[in-house]
Amino acid sequence: MDNSVYPQNSLVSVRNLTFSRGDKKIFDDISLDFERGKITAIMGPSGTGKTTLLKLIGGQLFPDQGAIFVDNENVHQLPRSQLYNLRKRIGMLFQSGALLTDMSVYDNVAFPLREHTHLPESMIRTLVLMRLQSVGLRGARDLMPSQLSGGMARRIALARAIVLDPMMILYDEPFTGQDPISMGVLVHLIKSLNNTLGLTSIIVSHDVHETSVIADYIYVISEGKIAGQGTPEEIRHSTSPWIQQFMTGAADGPVHFHYPAKDYIDDLLPSGKRY
């Protein structure tokens, strides 16, 4: 691959990506860069393809046009064995947590190590306890997923995502359904783990405040295009009415409160009589 294709400090580079589902174009010739060691957020309304972008980066979906490079590798040109090896270097925090319900907390975190390494159980135990300690839940190792709160389950899933010492973590709506305390804990963990472990993080979210607190750079996506990009400060001071509506949660603006419809009076009075 020609290293001039994207900036040298980018771990992930998306170039001229176009992707459709049926007749609906999800991405229309977009390009993005995700800098090594930084937290980059992908934001936008529900249904704009944020999670789809993560699946494209991981090679689960194929673009119609364009290319995605991860650590100098063209993801969609890799043989299956090399793609699987690349995925081992990428942690994933699913929106639901996706813990295996018939395994204890300890066994959930140990699962990737047992599947992808030949480490002895004594070493696996050390690594699992280290990761559980890093998310503050070493004492919960014998619990089952059904015994965990939503916030605890998300933290256990995070411990599992980092247990193979990945170069990058993909977060799919990490703050959804969390109470304020759990949300604050996750915000702290994502930032501190990124710095401590030297990770690169990509966060997909529509939680404006929490994401803006920890992101180094933000892309805002709408209708298949990049509506805006920049640091959280630059996004907050954007002159785009659409971005301002999204960031402030205004009920009406470029995205109208009312779905397009015929004149209200004409709809109420089909005969056309007005009194």
pLDDT in tens, 226-240: 988 999 898 888 877
Residue 74, amino acid? N
Segment among 117-121, 153-157, 240-244 with least mean pLDDT: 240-244
- Rounded mean pLDDT, 142-162: 90
Residue 114 lies in a domain: no
What pLDDT does 263 receive?
79
Residue 135 lies in a domain: no
What pLDDT does 253 receive?
57
Residue 112 lies in a domain: no
Structure tokens at 187: 């915000």
pLDDT at 193 > cutoff 60: yes
- List C-alpha distances in Å: 144 to 121, 125, 179: 20, 17, 21
The share of the chain scoring above pLDDT 70, in percent, equals: 91
What pLDDT does 258 receive?
59
- 214-248 burial, b at 16+ Cβ within 10 Å, e below that, comes to bbebbbbbbebebbbbeebeebeebeeebbbebbe
Residue 133 lies in a domain: no
pLDDT in tens, 71-125: 989 999 999 999 999 998 999 888 777 888 899 999 999 999 999 989 999 999 9
Residue 106 lies in a domain: no
Residue 110 lies in a domain: no
Residue 149 lies in a domain: no
- Rounded mean pLDDT, 178-197: 85
Structure tokens at 111: 């699962």
Residue 130 lies in a domain: no
pLDDT at 247 > cutoff 80: no
The residues that bridge with 205 in the sheet, in sequence order, are 43
Q: What does pTM read for this prediction?
A: 0.83
Question: Any idea what the CATH number is for the domain that residue 232 is in?
Answer: 3.40.50.300
Q: Degrees (nearest 5) of the Cα angle 206, 210, 213?
A: 125
User: How many domains are contained in the chain?
Assistant: 1
- List C-alpha distances in Å: 153 to 6, 183, 234: 37, 12, 34
Range of the domain at 65: 3-89+166-268
